[in-house]
Amino acid sequence: QVQLVESGGALVEPGGSLRLSCVVSGIHFAYYYMMWVRQAPGKGLETVAYITTDSNTILYGDSMRGRFTVSRDNAQSSLFLQMDSLRADDTAIYYCATGREAGIADLWGQGTRVTVAS
């Protein structure tokens, strides 16, 4: 049974930092690209970050570039998102997602909630 379990979401003040984790089981994690996708309250889905199996290609959404860092530990089947200089508009549910075929994300976690507020 495939599971993606996010954690690390919390209430944080503007300008603060947070590190999200996504632990994956039931698949050979090292063979899968990974993404972080978020949904702000009342808004649509937005790709936050993308990372290839070997971490050689890493891409970020425009508003995250320079503030967020995605990484992975294939030995631990884990994906991470380091979020710095957080802003109110980063408030969202953050999902990790992947799939066997490039771009076709059919495996999702349940999401972790990040709230940026003073």
Footprint of other proteins (CB under 8 A): 35, 37, 39, 44-47, 50, 57, 59-62, 95, 97, 99, 101-106, 108-111
Give the nearest distance from C-beta 36 to other proteins in angstroms.
Answer: 11
Nearer residue to other proteins within complex by CB, 84 or 106: 106
Smallest distance from other proteins to CB 105, Å: 7
- Tell me how far, at minimum, the Cβ of 106 lies from other proteins, in Å: 4
Amino acid 38 reads: R
Which of 24/97 has CB closer to other proteins?
A: 97
Q: How far is the CB of 15 from other proteins (least distance, A)?
A: 26
The 10 Å Cβ neighbour count of residue 4 is 23
CA 9 to chain centroid, in Å, comes to 11
Q: Which is nearer to other proteins, 7 or 15 (CB)?
A: 7
Distances (CA, A) of 91 to 6, 83, 113, 116: 16, 12, 8, 5
CB neighbours (10 Å) of residue 116? 20
Contact 32, 50 (CB under 8 A): no
